[in-house]
Amino acid sequence: MNNAGIGNFASFNEMEVLEWTRMIEVNVLGVYYATKLVLPYLIANNDEDIINISSTAGLSGNANTSAYSASKFTVIGMSQALTKEVRKDNTRISTLTPSTIATDMTLDLGITDGNPDKVLQPENFAELITADLKLSRRAMLANASIWSTNP
């Protein structure tokens, strides 16, 4: 599972190039390097899964999210392309795109107050991951989004 990620939000003109670069390095190259390292073993086992965590920000950009959204759009595109390469080897790649989850990152950035009655909690996302992995090997969840019902 590729879940490392960072977020920093500012207007396109205000965000420093170094921060853009750092976000791409962590959010995109992190997925690339981890996948590159394990993929030969997964293919050899002929029955494995990769779960890449993107974000709903990778489905639709918003003001002040250009760097974050660009990195998450890239994860989605990379996952789709890689799926076309490895499906024949029975390697399933799922890209999950959660909306805001109450995590240290979202709480620290002030994106959410983490209200458990309104905001997705980590266990909600874990349920989606578990459901994905429980699918019959003849089925593949290529992508799925999970949203807070009423944030």
Domain ranges of the chain: 17-146
Say whether 68 is catalytic.
yes
pLDDT of residue 54: 97
Class of the CATH domain delimited by 17-146: alpha beta
pLDDT of residue 109: 86
pLDDT, tens digit (0-9, with 9 covering 90-100), for 10-34:
999 999 999 999 999 999 999 999 9
pLDDT, tens digit (0-9, with 9 covering 90-100), for 95-116:
999 998 998 888 888 888 988 9
63 neighbors 7 (Cβ within 8 angstroms): no
pLDDT of residue 151: 77
pLDDT, tens digit (0-9, with 9 covering 90-100), for 48-103:
999 999 999 999 999 999 999 999 999 999 999 999 999 999 999 999 999 989 98
Distance CA 31, CA 4 (A): 8
Find, among 148, 138, 135, 147, the residue nearest to 51 by Cα: 135
pLDDT of residue 150: 82
Look up residue 29 and give its DSSP letter: I
Q: Is the dihedral angle over the CA atoms 69, 83, 141, 94 positive or is it negative?
A: negative
Distance CA 137, CA 135 (A): 6
pLDDT of residue 111: 85
Query: Is the predicted pLDDT of residue 142 greater than 90, yes or no?
Result: yes
